[in-house]
Amino acid sequence: MTKIDRFYYDNDIVRKFAIASIVFGIIGLLVGLTIAFQLFLPDWNLGIPWMTYGRLRPLHTNAAIFAFVGNAIFTGVYYSTQRLVKTPMWSKKLGCFHFWTWQAVILAAAITLPLGITSSHEYAELEWPIDLGIAISWIAFGINLIMTLVKRRESHIYVAIWFFISTWITITMLHVGNNLEIPVSMMKSYPVFAGVHDALIQWWYGHNAVAFFLTTPYLGLMYYFVPKAANRPVYSYKLSIIHFWTLIFIYIWAGPHHLLYTALPDWAQSLGTVMSLMLIAPSWGGMLNGLLTLRGAWDKVRQDPVLKFFVVAITAYGMSTFEGPMMSIKSVNAITHYTDWTVAHVHVGTLGWNGFLTFGMFYYLFPKMYKTKLYSIKLAEWHFWLGTIGIILWVIPMYWAGVTEQLSWKQFSPDGTLVYGNFLDTVTQVIPMYMIRAVGGTLYYTGLLMAVWNLWKTAKQGTFVAYEEAEAPALERIKHVNKGHRWIESRMGAFYFWAFIAVFIGGMVEIIPTILVKSNTPTITSVKPYTPLELEGRDLYIREGCVGCHSQMIRPFRSETARYGQYSKAGEFIYDRPFLFGSKRTGPDLHRLGGKYPNKWHYDHMFDPRSTSPGSIMPRYPWFQENDIDYSTLESKINVLRILGTPYADGFEKKAVEAAKKQAKEIAADLKENGIKTPGLENKEIVALIAYLQRLGTDIGKGETTMK
């Protein structure tokens, strides 16, 4: 006779993560709303450095991805895994450790990013001590997940858990790969790879952070919560198997589509394009499987806000996973890249897919865990409609802005000159779109606040069940009698192994040849390392997050070379740690900025951009003229860069401060000649920044330039 075990599901850890997700959702989305307003009200930063767009943007993206969505993922994983394998999580203490270390990482991010402490790698901006914290927390989560699966009472591992496993494996690999860096100080490091190599690894990470943090865990949640809410099994289990393997295998290859028409080797770009196009098939397979689960239950969708949220979430997933591959076609990417189209694409995914699936999950979970009904169905309906209209008002103006930007950038007059030669001509055109986007964001945020109130009242009216009683037949020993794919489905070790192989191949095939084959990055003899002062200026540029609005990558198009100058070559970036190609042009590209304007212009521009560029939406940076340059880590910076391969002479680190001060005096003297009377000017940060900006893109025009 089969023995029946009685045990308890741990809802306490689920509630902890859910509350953290909601709290950080309120904060992260508020920061997003703030920077949305700053894009048409540049003084909205109130003159405070840590309130400035460049510093808040990474805070918004990190808070939205790793705090709001991250905590929501853990909420769903802890809830569903226990029930799918019919056993509580292996260790309650490890779960708590995971929870608190993850929140500590988020807190550290919330402090360091506004202070300008950033590695500048998009979605991986956190500096090395916090990277270590992420690794510790992530490993704790992984051990708890693995051990729970080891102790399971259900032989078959359900498809949702496959997606959780692939998430854990891939994020571990990406986090390690993209954070190979050497510390300069407690809060500063330089990446091991430079220029094009750094860019490829970053976008291998960046694209797959979207794939394996914003997509695969959410597909796992979809495969669990949609059947639960609809009270019917997934449409096709066979399709889910095909969906899983094809998706994780292909996704990892698609990173280079973020670098089309850049200095990345052409073969890597083409490979990224082909794989991105192939992604449509598994993505839509998954979307259809999710939507068709509701076959025969559409009457429920009309009445149940949970299902309403799920339907819009899955539809948004379908839209963004169709749009993504389309944007990876080189001719389409030539038009959409660097514009607000990309921003719209991202937010269809995050606001629609991640946001709405999270809200649906919370509306399902809170009444379950509190043993009550949802406080107000009507309020949830209001939230649904405000959120949906908010998304529409958010993304449509941004698509419109994207088209306006690119058409304006590319328009030539019959005499062969650019019609909109001044970049500001385009910026001022899209400001109304930015305003409408802020209205959309406000509606979405209002919906979020309604959800918070609704869930709070639901919790108040119910009784929380921290440990839910359950029973299941004991699984004395897993018998592997299955054949075919079902064999692997019940063998955890084999499953981890094959999932790792599937995600490992793509990245390695793109990264290893790019780095090892010398002809992929031909060096240019006239390109020299940055001077110490330029290096300090570059780090100030990184601190302020200038890369969020300015690219440093001129693509080989007539419209770009006519506007900015020679197109960018891979060999020009070999000393760039980190690379600063950027992915959005709210302002113009800066790669050939050096020597374009006098020093005085830069001084005035940084103090008040509108004094030199009427209509500019760039914030003011008066603190560059007030703060002294901090040379305390310069020696260490030179040492680390030499270790990484920058050809600074032996002993140069001892002379670096002296050399920097000498160059600073020259720039300060020029500024004084042009009427700037600031006391101690040669010690101010603005001088270092000017040194860097005046160097940008100028090496290629110096003396003999040969490629080797």
Residue 295 found at the interface with another protein (CB under 8 A): no
Strand, coil or helix: 298: helix
Which residue, 270 or 413, has its beta carbon nearer to another protein?
270
Which residue, 9 or 420, has its beta carbon nearer to another protein?
9
| H/E segment holding residue 669 | helix 652-673
Distances (CA, A) of 12 to 18, 100, 178, 366: 10, 13, 34, 12
Which residue, 449 or 465, has its beta carbon nearer to another protein?
465
Amino acid at 555: R
Total Cβ atoms within 10 A of residue 293: 22
Please give the residues from 185 up to 224 whose contact with another protein meets the rule CB under 8 A. Answer: 223-224
Interface residue with another protein among 194, 234, 380, 533 (CB under 8 A) is 234
CB of 71 to another protein, least distance (A): 22
CB of 29 closer than 8 Å to CB of 64: yes
Give dist(CA 696, CA 552) in Å, integer. 9
Residue 471 found at the interface with another protein (CB under 8 A): yes
Nearest to 541 by CA among 505, 582, 502, 572: 582
**DSSP per-residue codes, 596-640:** TS-HHHHHHHHH-HHHHSTT--PPP-THHHHSBP--TTHHHHHHH
Q: Which of the ranges 184-192, 202-210, 485-493, 605-613 carries the binding residues for another protein, by CB under 8 A?
A: 485-493
Residue 479 found at the interface with another protein (CB under 8 A): no
Please give the residues from 235 up to 254 whose contact with another protein meets the rule CB under 8 A. Answer: 236-238, 241-242, 245-246, 249-250, 253
CB of 512 to another protein, least distance (A): 8
Interface residue with another protein among 181, 489, 682, 685 (CB under 8 A) is 489
Q: How many residues bind another protein (CB under 8 A)?
A: 55
Interface residue with another protein among 50, 111, 132, 371 (CB under 8 A) is 371
Interface residue with another protein among 115, 176, 180, 505 (CB under 8 A) is 505
Sign of CA dihedral 547, 548, 550, 552: positive
DSSP code of residue 418? B
CB of 408 closer than 8 Å to CB of 354: no
Please give the residues from 510 up to 549 whose contact with another protein meets the rule CB under 8 A. Answer: 512-513, 517, 519
CB of 9 to another protein, least distance (A): 7
CB of 306 to another protein, least distance (A): 9
Residue 331 found at the interface with another protein (CB under 8 A): no
Which residue, 9 or 74, has its beta carbon nearer to another protein?
9
Nearest to 214 by CA among 352, 372, 33: 352
Which residue, 140 or 511, has its beta carbon nearer to another protein?
511
Residue 486 found at the interface with another protein (CB under 8 A): yes
CB of 39 to another protein, least distance (A): 40
Residue 463 found at the interface with another protein (CB under 8 A): no
Residue window 136-175: x/- pattern of binding to another protein, with contact defined by CB under 8 A: ------------------x-x-xxx---------------
Give dist(CA 603, CA 687) in Å, integer. 8
Nearest to 96 by CA among 204, 12, 215: 12
CA 124 from centroid of its chain's CA atoms: 7
Give dist(CA 117, CA 539) in Å, integer. 10
DSSP code of residue 69? I
Interface residue with another protein among 1, 2, 93, 231 (CB under 8 A) is 231
CB of 508 to another protein, least distance (A): 9
Residue 273 found at the interface with another protein (CB under 8 A): no
Distances (CA, A) of 473 to 25, 152, 492, 508: 39, 11, 20, 44
CB of 184 closer than 8 Å to CB of 637: yes
Interface residue with another protein among 414, 484, 675, 703 (CB under 8 A) is 484
Interface residue with another protein among 305, 506, 545, 578 (CB under 8 A) is 506
Backbone φ and ψ of 99, nearest 5°: -60, -50
Backbone φ and ψ of 10, nearest 5°: -85, 100
Altogether, the residues listed in the chain come to a count of 708
Residue 1 CB-density burial (10 A; 0-12 exposed, 13-18 middle, 19+ buried): exposed
Interface residue with another protein among 477, 483, 518, 677 (CB under 8 A) is 483
Q: Which of the ranges 62-70, 442-450, 504-512, 574-582 carries the binding residues for another protein, by CB under 8 A?
A: 504-512
Residue 296 found at the interface with another protein (CB under 8 A): no
Interface residue with another protein among 151, 295, 373, 702 (CB under 8 A) is 373
CB of 208 to another protein, least distance (A): 16
Give dist(CA 544, CA 533) in Å, integer. 17
CB of 361 to another protein, least distance (A): 13
Could you tell me where the DSSP H helices lie in 113-186?
128-150, 159-178
Hey, which residues does 473 pair with through a beta bridge?
4
Which residue, 68 or 384, has its beta carbon nearer to another protein?
384
Residue 417 CB-density burial (10 A; 0-12 exposed, 13-18 middle, 19+ buried): exposed
Which residue, 266 or 658, has its beta carbon nearer to another protein?
266
Cis peptide bond upstream of 325, omega within 30:
no
Residue window 59-88: x/- pattern of binding to another protein, with contact defined by CB under 8 A: ---------------------x--xx-x--
CB of 14 to another protein, least distance (A): 13
Distances (CA, A) of 695 to 59, 542, 555, 591, 699: 29, 15, 19, 9, 8
Amino acid at 530: Y
CB of 282 to another protein, least distance (A): 10
| H/E segment holding residue 185 | strand 181-185
Residue 507 found at the interface with another protein (CB under 8 A): no
Residues of this chain that bind another protein (CB under 8 A):
9, 80, 83-84, 86, 154, 156, 158-160, 223-224, 227-228, 231-234, 236-238, 241-242, 245-246, 249-250, 253, 267, 271, 364, 367-368, 371-374, 468-472, 483-486, 489, 502, 505-506, 509, 512-513, 517, 519
